[in-house]
Amino acid sequence: MGGLLKDSTTLDILMQLNKRFEPEALSEMVELQREFEVFSGRHSLQQSFKLLGIVPNDWAERRRWYRFLDHLKTYPSDVTDMTGHDRVIHAFKENLESEKPLSVSIVCHAATDDPRVIVSQGRAVVFSLDMHVIISIPTTPGREARQQVANEVRARRARELAD
């Protein structure tokens, strides 16, 4: 989420997502999926998360959150020919419609380690024995992302001056 959102907003969104799909809330999410198909090819992540109220309180950050969700369409995923955006939708849909749905945990990993959105199953936190669907989003720290953009701008200007 890096350069697109403040660190505090990223933490808030991760908490909202992980609370919404924790064991106590799972039956409600399964029901909502069954009744309204919250996660489907007909809806973007932006639409799904708006519907569920998973948004920053700050309106400026909310716009950046929506931009980030759309930007996931440019991310690769662990499924060939499926964008990161579509992979997240597919993971939620598949899990919530399964015979034995699991809680879902959203985590982040360094984009330098793996640029793909990765979905797996496992223990999301060391102190819990519950199995989760784990959706891991590649992230670049905000400061690092801003530095990359600044370097790209400087390089572009240098090329323009050289031409």
For the sheet with 118-123, list strands across it: 103-110, 131-139, 118-123
User: For 136, which DSSP code?
Assistant: E
Instruction: Look at residue 125 in the predicted model and tell me its pLDDT.
Output: 83
pLDDT of 49 higher than 80: yes
C-alpha distances in Å from residue 114, one per residue of 23, 35, 49, 110: 29, 36, 25, 7
Q: Measure the CA–CA gap between 157 and 163, rounded to whole angstroms.
A: 10
Burial pattern 110-119, b for ≥16 Cβ within 10 A else e, equals ebeeeebbbb
pLDDT given for residue 150 in this prediction: 60
The predicted pLDDT at position 104 comes to 96
What's the domain range around 55? 2-162
- Per the structure, how many domains does the chain have? 1
Pairing of strands 118-123, 131-139: antiparallel
Higher-scoring residue by pLDDT: 43, 125: 43
The pLDDT of residue 51 is 95
CA distance 129 to 142: 33
Q: Provide the pLDDT for residue 44.
A: 96
pLDDT at 2 over 70: no
Backbone angles phi, psi at 134, to 5 degrees: -110, 120
Model confidence, pTM:
0.84
Say yes or no to pLDDT of 1 above 60: no
